[in-house]
């Protein structure tokens, strides 16, 4: 029984890519920024070889790393969650998904209003925590939906749970997802329910993402077609629109994501357990909270020995990321175009340093190679 546990530390970039300036990112480095905070402490990741990765200039290198490591270069044109995860799974995106710095087109919003029977507030790029403070009162008074975007390819709908029940909000998101096709094929429609009273509105944990289906065959599809289990933990199911997944469970954040991972380590299955730990990005990166980001990484590092101890002889653990979100970068509150880490640990794995790889898709090829499957996409196994 072979198993791979692939954990995405959402937004844990390790230094700007060569083309970062073209994406508005100058001198960005998520790892460098958080490692400077006193709360940052990752001795277990250090032993695996995090600071031995090419281009990493912080932390103390180890003479005897326990894992195979590499620096991953994103080949796709983008720096968002959807494109990053898709490339990990083998789908290359030659052009960015559409973004809306001036808000969504009037004809699109009008049709959305017609189909939902509700008006729209905001319709421009906005901070997700600030938009509910600025438009929450009007939303509660009128019932109009708060629709906003960001620098990413997202159509976000915020609604108070006492005004729009969560299931109804999800239905509005499905309506938007059906509308957002063709040139308006945004990466994700996101339900952003909130609660509270005027001046103290807070988002709830009942967020839900509605992604496009990946436009090509992924490692998930190939694993499923080969009869392997493909277990999605966290928002993985939404990112791939359920395609190629045999079992899934949502999580409320990192703590539950780690707990679910430990539970799956105790279960019998053969295949892939694909986990996204979202708090780094959602709670700390976008909010430019350096200390919070550092504490969250430290908390993961403290649980890492527990994860490794639960692994069986044939198990592999892969740690990586999907993009950066440098909390020290003040030019924007958006993702940052960065390299990502690749750390592969297994009790039978011989540690190596593989330098810099040309595409995240090498991860997908590595996963398939372990199960004796030839990838139908571009990507080279690192085994």
What is the chain's mean pLDDT, rounded? 96
Question: What distance in Å separates the CA atoms of residue 6 and residue 365, rounded to the nearest whole number?
Answer: 13
Which residues are paired to 254 by β-bridges? none
Query: 175 by DSSP, 3-state: which?
Result: helix
| pLDDT grade for 211, boundaries at 50, 70 and 90 | confident
Secondary structure element (H or E) that encloses residue 128, with its range: helix 128-142
Question: What distance in Å separates the CA atoms of residue 316 and residue 345, rounded to the nearest whole number?
Answer: 6
pLDDT over 90, % of the chain: 95
Q: Got the DSSP string for 71-109? A: EE---SS--SHHHHHHHHTT---SSPPP--TT-S-HHHH
Averaged over 263-287, what is the pLDDT?
96
User: CA nearest 179: which of 110, 93, 84, 276?
Assistant: 110
Condensed to tens digits (0 to 9), the pLDDT of residues 292-346 reads 999 999 999 999 999 999 999 999 999 999 999 999 999 988 899 999 999 999 9
Predicted confidence at residue 293, as pLDDT, reads 98
Residue pair 223/238 in contact (Cβ under 8 Å)? The answer is no
Q: Got the DSSP string for 195-221? A: EEETTEEEE-S--EEEEPPPSS--HHH
Question: What distance in Å separates the CA atoms of residue 79 and residue 94, rounded to the nearest whole number?
Answer: 12
List where CATH 3.30.70.1250 sits in the chain.
106-210
Which class for 262: exposed (0-12), middle (13-18), buried (19 or more C-beta within 10 A)? middle
Question: What distance in Å separates the CA atoms of residue 319 and residue 247, rounded to the nearest whole number?
Answer: 21
Question: What distance in Å separates the CA atoms of residue 258 and residue 234, rounded to the nearest whole number?
Answer: 10
Predicted confidence at residue 306, as pLDDT, reads 98
Condensed to tens digits (0 to 9), the pLDDT of residues 77-89 reads 999 999 999 999 9
Say what the pTM is: 0.91
Class of domain 106-210: alpha beta
Averaged over 90-100, what is the pLDDT?
92
Question: What distance in Å separates the CA atoms of residue 66 and residue 309, rounded to the nearest whole number?
Answer: 14
* Residue at token pair 């029940």: 165
List where CATH 3.40.720.10 sits in the chain.
3-93+215-370
User: CA nearest 254: which of 230, 235, 231, 273?
Assistant: 235
The neighbour count for residue 64, using CB atoms within 10 Å, is: 7
Question: What distance in Å separates the CA atoms of residue 47 and residue 62, rounded to the nearest whole number?
Answer: 6
Question: What distance in Å separates the CA atoms of residue 237 and residue 244, rounded to the nearest whole number?
Answer: 9
**Virtual torsion, Cα 131, 132, 135, 139, nearest 10 deg:** 140
Residue 166 has pLDDT above 90, yes or no: yes
Question: How far is CA 288 from its chain centroid?
Answer: 17
Predicted confidence at residue 151, as pLDDT, reads 80
Distances (CA, A) of 46 to 62, 66, 230, 366: 7, 9, 29, 23
User: Options 3.40.50.300, 3.50.80.10, 3.40.720.10, 3.30.465.10; which CATH number does 3-93+215-370 get?
Assistant: 3.40.720.10
Predicted confidence at residue 21, as pLDDT, reads 97
Q: Where would I find the beta strands (DSSP E) of the chain? A: 3-9, 68-72, 120-125, 145-149, 154-160, 188-197, 200-203, 208-211, 229-233, 247-249, 271-277, 316-320, 340-346, 353-357
User: CA nearest 208: which of 254, 162, 171?
Assistant: 171
Residue 152 has pLDDT above 90, yes or no: no
Residue 155 has pLDDT above 90, yes or no: yes
Residue 350 has pLDDT above 90, yes or no: yes
């Amino acid at each position: 029984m072979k198993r791979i546990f692939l954990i995405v530390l959402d937004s844990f970039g390790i230094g700007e890519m060569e083309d970062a300036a073209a994406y508005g990112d100058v001198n960005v480095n998520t790892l460098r920024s958080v490692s400077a905070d006193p709360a940052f402490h990752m001795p277990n990741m250090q032993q695996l070889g995090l600071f031995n990765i090419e281009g990493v200039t912080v932390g103390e290198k180890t003479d005897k790393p326990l894992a195979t490591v590499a620096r991953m270069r994103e080949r796709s044109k983008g720096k968002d969650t959807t494109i990053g995860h898709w490339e990990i799974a083998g789908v290359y995106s030659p052009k960015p998904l559409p973004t809306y710095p001036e808000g969504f087109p009037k004809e699109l919003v009008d049709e959305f209003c017609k189909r939902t029977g509700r008006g729209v507030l905001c319709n421009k790029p906005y901070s997700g925590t600030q938009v509910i403070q600025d438009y929450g009162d009007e939303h509660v008074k009128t019932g109009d939906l708060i629709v906003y975007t960001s620098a990413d390819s997202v159509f976000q709908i915020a609604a108070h749970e006492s005004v729009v029940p969560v299931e109804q909000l999800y239905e509005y998101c499905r309506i938007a997802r059906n509308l957002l096709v063709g040139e308006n094929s945004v990466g994700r429609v996101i339900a952003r329910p909130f609660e509270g009273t005027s001046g103290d509105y807070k988002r709830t944990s009942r967020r839900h993402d509605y992604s496009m289906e990946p436009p090509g065959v992924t490692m998930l599809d190939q694993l499923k077609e080969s009869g392997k289990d493909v277990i999605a933990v966290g928002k993985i199911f939404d990112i791939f629109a359920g395609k190629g997944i045999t079992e899934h469970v949502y999580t409320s954040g990192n703590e539950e994501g780690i707990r679910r991972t430990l539970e799956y380590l105790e279960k019998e299955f053969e295949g892939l357990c694909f986990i996204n730990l979202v708090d780094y990005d959602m709670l700390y990166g976008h909010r430019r909270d350096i200390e919070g980001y550092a504490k969250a990484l430290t908390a993961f590092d403290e649980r890492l020995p527990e994860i490794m101890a639960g692994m069986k002889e044939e198990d592999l653990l892969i740690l990586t990321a999907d993009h950066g979100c440098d909390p020290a970068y003040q030019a924007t509150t958006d993702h940052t175009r960065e390299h990502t880490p690749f750390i592969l640990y297994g009790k039978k794995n011989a540690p190596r340093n593989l330098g810099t790889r040309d595409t995240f898709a090498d991860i997908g090829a590595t996963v398939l190679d372990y199960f004796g499957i030839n990838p139908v996409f571009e990507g080279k196994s690192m085994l």
